[in-house]
A = this chain, B = another copy of it.
């Protein structure tokens, strides 16, 4: 369990009580059942989701096959950034994999927050930076490592992933088919 406010406090410890209270207003807590689709491709994603407990993912279809692009574990953020920041329909799907406790934060509310509490711009900037770096990490996973190394690194990064995520999702996340992942796993 990782509370949204602990997360905020880590990024911007100096935030005023008023700003924090305002964030409390707009960040609705919600319990989401397993296998819920929070977004379908073609829809506009007007929220981001902070995972306080549980697990979700972002995925897309390539030749009728699901490909997982992003996991959101406890303390992490999930959204369809291609839509969230542009207002255009997303090409991504968002799915909750386990019953989860999330904070839902809407586009409009964030704009309102920035306008009324300019100090929160800094929080916004740091949250985006953190996720930008996460995406860069993912690029580097492919840039510098073989499929086998990617598998090992993902296990290290998310120690509970084998217990919580089916292998075909891990396979597509590391950029191979499930058959290839099986071959990798067999080599031990």
Contact = CB atoms under 8 A, between A and B. Distances in A.
A135 B128 contact: no
Contact of A133 (B86, B125, B143): B86
Given A118-B118, A121-B121, A121-B122, A129 B60 contact: no
Tell me the number of copies of this protein: 2
Number of contact residues on A: which range applies?
A: 20 to 34
A62 B144 CA distance: 6
Interface string A52-68: 00000000101000010
Nearest to A61: B144
Given A122-B121, A144-B91, A133 B69 contact: no
Shortest 10 CB-CB distances between A and B: which pairs? Answer: A121-B121, A125-B125, A132-B132, A121-B122, A128-B128, A124-B125, A85-B129, A135-B135, A82-B136, A81-B136
Interface of A: 60, 62, 67, 69, 81-82, 85-86, 91, 114, 118-119, 121-122, 124-125, 128-129, 131-133, 135-140, 143-144
